[in-house]
Structure 1
Amino acid sequence: MDLDRMQALLTALQEARFAGLRSVSYDGKTVTYGSDAELAAAVRDLEARVAAASATPRRRRWGTVATKGL
């Protein structure tokens, strides 16, 4: 799943949760969550996936260190 679609789904989930709804519709599909806890877990999972997909890779720096052993 690409980043734009994940962000759109995340927005739909957050809007439904803030409105107090347990059903979310997107792409012609409707998902009904059993409780707010399930919806919150879906939001957290999608937030983690968006963060992982949008993170830039970290650069590693290598160097040498020398001491005289004093």
Structure 2
Amino acid sequence: MAWSVTDLEKLQAAVSSGVRSVTFADGRRTEYQSLDHVLAAIKVVDAELRMQAQATNGLVRRRVPYYRSGL
């Protein structure tokens, strides 16, 4: 699912007001069990938005493992 910046802002507004129920831009309504779950959702949405931004910028980071035998 593609997240938008408005979804992130709605989650942050929910945390600041103490509300556990959020209605997103596409009409979905989600009720979280606690504010900790809302904070976890904020982290997920923020990470998704950063990955989307990196994909549109053409910036791709790859990690290549380096192994040493130790002998």
Coarse TM-score class (shorter-chain normalised)? 0.5 to 0.7
Aligned to 1:66: none
Aligned to 1:65: none
Aligned to 1:17: 15
CA apart distance, 1:30? 1.7
Aligned to 2:67: none
Q: Between the two proteins, what is the percent identity of the paired residues?
A: 28
> Which AA in structure 1 matches 2:37?
E
CA apart distance, 1:31? 0.7
Q: TM-score, normalised by structure 1?
A: 0.68
> Which AA in structure 2 matches 1:36?
L
For structure 1, which segment, 24-33 or 12-21, has the greater mean C-alpha deviation from structure 2 after superposition? 24-33
- Unpaired runs of 5+ in structure 2? 61-71
Greater C-alpha Rg: 1
Aligned residues: 57
Aligned to 1:29: 28
CA apart distance, 1:28? 3.0
Q: TM-score, normalised by structure 2?
A: 0.67
Change (3 A) 1:29 1:58: closer
Structure 1 vs Structure 2 CA RMSD: 1.9
- Unpaired runs of 5+ in structure 1? 60-70
Q: Give the secondary-structure state (helix, strand or coil) at the position aligned to 1:34.
A: coil
Q: Give the secondary-structure state (helix, strand or coil) at the position aligned to 1:31.
A: strand
> Which AA in structure 2 matches 1:40?
L
